[in-house]
């Protein structure tokens, strides 16, 4: 209730991107406070029960994490885990640094409980993200944090050269991440969603898998799991086709779903509450198609533990959120994970 009052009187009156930047900087700063560095891993202990959950053959501290898009440059991983997220997916990271689209590029859709954005993969590039993850992994507490890396295509890279662009990011991030996600489903990079077609997607996934394997082998690290993230706007037969490709290539799973362009609110992809129903349906369809082995991360529209539970009941192994942070405040992840692990 206190946060919602602050949201109405302060944040709601601010430009959405400016409010996000302010909150993000505070979270990142909290994670850098020296006295807290040694207790990041134990920060979840007061409210988690048992031994977390299993995914990728590993222990994940809690089933609800932060989705790609919030921490684009791996600057606030420690702070986000302190707030109660069980894992953090950084990115979307591109091989080349890029400023993203022109502002304004983020809008709140308060009546819908959503956020609309056309950010355009603004980030400092894969090399900068890798350097921050390397620093994180240099400490015992940093190695204990479960971190995924979401990679996308650089805007200036032609679609015909997308495989090499994704592979560059994979080679830099694979030795430092607990899993990789190939993002071909953002609506804010021209032509990106066209890469979800099986013929376009296959060479990208093959190139990323090969680059990641070379990088981890060279670094003496275990093989990193590889997933692909899809849009909610794919027709069901296309969802099935991507799932079949994941099985064909022996990949480790899928993330469902990204933002939707099925709205009449203006440009950009819509996230938040309107995605929940379709997201759960896609996860249920994927689980039926993929069987029991591959990991599914369900994301889209989660505001409560009950929302996250709907994804888990549909077949997801893990869940993620981002937009709920805007409306529910800094203790949102803690409440969701408490409800799930009770």
User: Token match 């900068």: residue?
Assistant: 128
**Nearest CA among 298, 285, 271, 337 for reference residue 69:** 271
**Annotated catalytic residue 138:** no
Question: pLDDT tens, 10-65?
Answer: 888 999 999 999 999 989 988 887 665 445 445 444 444 456 899 999 999 999 99
Instruction: Give the annotated binding-site residues.
Output: 72, 92, 117-121, 150, 183, 188, 229, 257-259, 272, 301, 322-323
Instruction: Give the annotated binding-site residues for substrate.
Output: 72, 117-121, 183, 188, 258-259
Range of the domain at 73: 2-341
Catalytic residue, from 154, 169, 186, 271: name it: 186
Question: pLDDT tens, 221-265?
Answer: 999 999 999 999 999 999 999 999 999 999 999 999 999 999 999
Q: Would you state the structure tokens that stand for residue 46, as one six-digit string? A: 């007061």
Say how many domains are in the chain.
1
pTM: 0.95
Length of the chain equals 342
Report the C-alpha gap between 292 and 202 in whole angstroms. 22
CATH code of the domain containing 278: 3.20.20.70
């Amino acid at each position: 209730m206190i946060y919602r009052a602050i949201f109405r009187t302060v944040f709601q009156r601010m430009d959405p991107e400016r409010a996000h930047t302010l909150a993000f900087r505070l979270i990142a700063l909290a994670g850098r406070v020296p006295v807290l560095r040694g207790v990041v891993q134990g920060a979840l202990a007061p409210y988690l029960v048992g031994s977390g959950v299993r995914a990728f053959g590993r222990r994940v501290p809690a089933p609800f994490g932060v989705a790609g898009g919030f921490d684009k440059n791996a600057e606030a991983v420690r702070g986000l885990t302190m707030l109660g997220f069980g894992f953090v997916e950084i990115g979307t990271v591109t091989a080349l640094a890029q400023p993203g689209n022109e502002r304004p590029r983020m809008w709140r859709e308060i009546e819908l409980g959503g956020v609309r954005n056309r950010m355009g993969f603004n980030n400092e590039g894969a090399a900068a993200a890798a350097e921050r993850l390397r620093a994180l992994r240099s400490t015992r507490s940093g190695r204990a944090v479960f971190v995924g890396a979401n990679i996308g295509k650089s805007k200036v890279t032609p679609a015909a050269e997308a495989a090499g662009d994704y592979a560059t990011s994979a080679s830099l991030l694979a030795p430092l991440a607990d899993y990789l996600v190939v993002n071909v489903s953002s609506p804010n990079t021209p032509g990106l969603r066209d890469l979800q077609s099986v013929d376009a997607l296959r060479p990208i996934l093959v190139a990323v898998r090969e680059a990641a394997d070379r990088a981890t082998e060279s670094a003496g690290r275990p093989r990193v799991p590889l997933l692909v993230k899809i849009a909610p706007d794919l027709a069901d037969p296309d969802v099935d086709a991507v799932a079949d490709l994941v099985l064909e290539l022996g990949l480790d799973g899928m993330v469902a779903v990204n933002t939707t362009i099925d709205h009449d609110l203006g440009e950009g992809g819509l996230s938040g509450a309107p995605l929940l129903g379709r997201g759960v349906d896609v996860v249920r369809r994927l689980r039926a198609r993929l069987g029991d082995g591959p990991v599914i991360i369900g994301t889209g529209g989660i505001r409560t533990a009950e929302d996250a539970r709907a994804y888990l009941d549909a077949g997801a192994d893990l869940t993620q959120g981002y937009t709920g942070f805007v409306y529910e405040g800094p203790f949102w992840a803690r409440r969701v994970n408490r409800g799930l692990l009770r």
